[in-house]
Structure 1
Amino acid sequence: MSTKSLADFDFETGEVLLLDKPLTWTSFDVVRKVKNALRIKKIGHAGTLDPLATGLLILCTGRKTKEIDQIQAQEKEYTGTFRLGETTPSFDLETAVDMARPYAHLTEEQIRAAVTPFLGLIQQTPPLFSAVKIDGKRAYEIARQGLDAEIKSKTVEIKAFELTRIALPEVDFRIVCSKGTYVRSLARDFGVALGCGAHLTRLVRTRIGEFRVEDAFSLEAIQALRPPRPEGESDIPRRERPKTAPNRAGLQYFAALQADALAAKEHQAAAGTAADAGPTEAPE
Structure 2
Amino acid sequence: MSAKTLAEFDFETGEVLLLDKPLTWTSFDVVRKVKNALRIKKIGHAGTLDPLATGLLILCTGRKTKEIDLIQAQEKEYTGTFRLGETTPSFDLETAVDMARPYAHLTDEEILAATLPFVGTIQQTPPLFSAVKIDGKRAYEIARNGQEAEIKSKTVEIKIFELTRIALPEIDFRVVCSKGTYIRSLARDLGVALGCGAHLTRLVRTRIGEYRVEDAFSLEAIQALRPPRPEGEGRPRIERPRTAPNRAGLQYYAALQADALAAKEHQATETAPAAPESSPE
Give the structure 1 partner of residue 260 of structure 2: 261
Give the structure 1 partner of residue 177 of structure 2: 177
Structure 1: 4+ residue segments shifted above 4 A: 278-281
Equivalent residues in 2 for 1:1-284 (5 A)?
A: 1-238=1-238, 247-273=246-272, 276-277=273-274
Distance 1:239 1:209, change over 3 A: closer
Q: Give the aligned residue type for 1:109.
A: E
TM-score (norm 2): 0.95
Distance in 2 between the 1:257 and 1:224 partners?
Answer: 31
Distance in 1 between the 2:54 and 2:158 partners?
Answer: 20
> Which whole-Å deviations, capped at 9, do the CAs of 1:172-230 have from their partners, x for residues lacking one?
00000000000000000000000000000000000000000000000000000001122
Give 1:250 deviation, angstroms: 1.1
Give 1:2 deviation, angstroms: 1.0
Give 1:49 deviation, angstroms: 0.1
Distance in 2 between the 1:236 and 1:192 partners?
Answer: 52
Distance in 2 between the 1:133 and 1:235 partners?
Answer: 36
8 Å contact from structure 2 (residues 19, 217) kept in 1: yes
Distance in 2 between the 1:280 and 1:238 partners?
Answer: 49
Q: Give the aligned residue type for 2:3.
A: T
Distance 1:13 1:240, change over 3 A: closer
> Which whole-Å deviations, capped at 9, do the CAs of 1:215-249 have from their partners, x for residues lacking one?
000000000000112244254343989xxxx9331
Distance in 2 between the 1:237 and 1:160 partners?
Answer: 45
Q: How many residues align?
A: 276
Tell me the percent identity: 87
Distance in 1 between the 2:111 and 2:118 partners?
Answer: 13
> Which whole-Å deviations, capped at 9, do the CAs of 1:111-165 have from their partners, x for residues lacking one?
1111100000000000000000000000000000001000000000000000000
TM-score (norm 1): 0.94
Distance in 1 between the 2:38 and 2:19 partners?
Answer: 14
